[in-house]
C-alpha cells in the first residue's frame, strides 16, 4: 500500500492571523511549495459522526476572491457527492445552489457599488 502526504505551512502575524499559506503533496507534479490565499480542510470523524474543519484565509484575500472560492468549492462538491453516492439529482441540487449563491453575491456587489 502506498502512502501519500500533504504538507501545509501557515505563517501567522503577531495577532495569529494567517499571513501566508503554502502547501505541497507528495503525489503532485509541483515539487515546490504552492502558495494559496485560503484553504478549507474537512475530515469526517466516524466515531463522533461529525465533521472536523480547518478554515483559513490570509488577510489579503479579497471578498470577491472568497466568493469565487466558495462558489468553486460548492460547485465541485456536487461532483464529489455524485462520485461518492451515485446520486446525480442531489449533485444537480448542489450545483444549482452554488450558482444561486454566486449570482446573489454578484447582485449584492453591484447594488453596493451602485
Instruction: Give me Rg for the CA atoms of the chain.
Output: 17
The neighbour count for residue 37, using CB atoms within 10 Å, is 17
Tens of pLDDT, residues 22-76: 999 998 888 789 999 999 999 999 999 999 999 999 999 999 999 999 999 999 9
pLDDT at 28: 82
Q: Over the chain, what is the mean pLDDT? A: 95
Give the DSSP H/E element, type plus range, for residue 52.
Answer: strand 50-57
The neighbour count for residue 36, using CB atoms within 10 Å, is 18
Look up the pTM and report it. Answer: 0.88
Amino acid at each position: 500500500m502506498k502512502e501519500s502526504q500533504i504538507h501545509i505551512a501557515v505563517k501567522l502575524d503577531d495577532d495569529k492571523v494567517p499571513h501566508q499559506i503554502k502547501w505541497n503533496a507528495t503525489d503532485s507534479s509541483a515539487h515546490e511549495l504552492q502558495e494559496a490565499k485560503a484553504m478549507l480542510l474537512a475530515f469526517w470523524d466516524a466515531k463522533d459522526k461529525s465533521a472536523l474543519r480547518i478554515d483559513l484565509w490570509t488577510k489579503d484575500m479579497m471578498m470577491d476572491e472568497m466568493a469565487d472560492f466558495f462558489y468553486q468549492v460548492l460547485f465541485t462538491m456536487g461532483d464529489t457527492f455524485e462520485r461518492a453516492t451515485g446520486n446525480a439529482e442531489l449533485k444537480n441540487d448542489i450545483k444549482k445552489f452554488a450558482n444561486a449563491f454566486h449570482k446573489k453575491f454578484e447582485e449584492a456587489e453591484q447594488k453596493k457599488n451602485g
